[in-house]
Amino acid sequence: MWNRQIIFLSLVALTIGWVLWRRGKHLLKKWKKSEAMVVSNKYTPNEFALFESIDPVRDETGTYHAVVEFKTDKGQTIKKQLDIGGNPPRPVGQRMLVIYDPNNPLNFLTDHRTKLEIIPRILVALGLIGLLVSIADLFGVISIISD
């Protein structure tokens, strides 16, 4: 029973990882690179906090979304708030690499190496390991998965 579930989940991870990896390779070929700079941070308070903050400046329950700015290869300046935020805020003036769609520069990715290369490779590796362990267990080479 467990063997079939592990094989199924391994195939799912392998498939998703492979699709993301191919998509990432395509984006890295077609999209352009630019250097962006954090120009400000927009604070969003936590709606689910159990108590109201006494000092909003030092509030650690909310999220700061960086607003970045970069120039396209055609000289167009793009300024946009990132979808993913954090706490503490990113330092204003911090530089980061972005890749953007030349047809729609508002469509861009930060930390593209993690999203397009590392995570898909981890999924493929986990899928392959799960399949190999399940197949080895199925044929009695090893006995890890209990019935």
SS3 assignment for the chain: CHHHHHHHHHHHHHHHHHHHHHHHHHHHHHCEEEEEEEEEEEEECCCCCCCCCCCHHHCCCCEEEEEEEEECCCCCEEEEECCCCECCCCCCCCEEEEEEECCEEEEEEECHHHHHHHHHHHHHHHHHHHHHHHHHHHCCCCCCCCC
Do 97 and 39 share a domain, yes or no?
Answer: yes
Do 13 and 52 share a domain, yes or no?
Answer: no
Torsion from C-alpha of 98, 102, 105, 107, nearest 10 degrees? -70
Do 65 and 112 share a domain, yes or no?
Answer: no
Do 39 and 97 share a domain, yes or no?
Answer: yes
Q: Can you give the pTM of this predicted structure?
A: 0.70
Do 60 and 70 share a domain, yes or no?
Answer: yes
Do 71 and 15 share a domain, yes or no?
Answer: no
Do 18 and 43 share a domain, yes or no?
Answer: no
Q: How far is CA 67 from CA 44, 54, 96, 131, in A?
A: 13, 26, 12, 43
Do 49 and 94 share a domain, yes or no?
Answer: yes
The mean-pLDDT minimum among 31-45, 46-60, 81-95 falls in: 46-60
**pLDDT tens digits for 94-108?**
999 999 999 999 999
Domains held by the chain: number: 2
Do 94 and 42 share a domain, yes or no?
Answer: yes
Per the listing, tokens 């980061």 go with 96
**pLDDT tens digits for 20-31?**
999 999 988 999
Q: What is the pLDDT of residue 115?
A: 86
Do 20 and 49 share a domain, yes or no?
Answer: no
Show the domain range for 55.
Answer: 35-101
Do 96 and 43 share a domain, yes or no?
Answer: yes
Q: What is the pLDDT of residue 45?
A: 78
Do 51 and 108 share a domain, yes or no?
Answer: no
Residue 31 and residue 99 in contact, taking contact as beta carbons nearer than 8 Å: yes
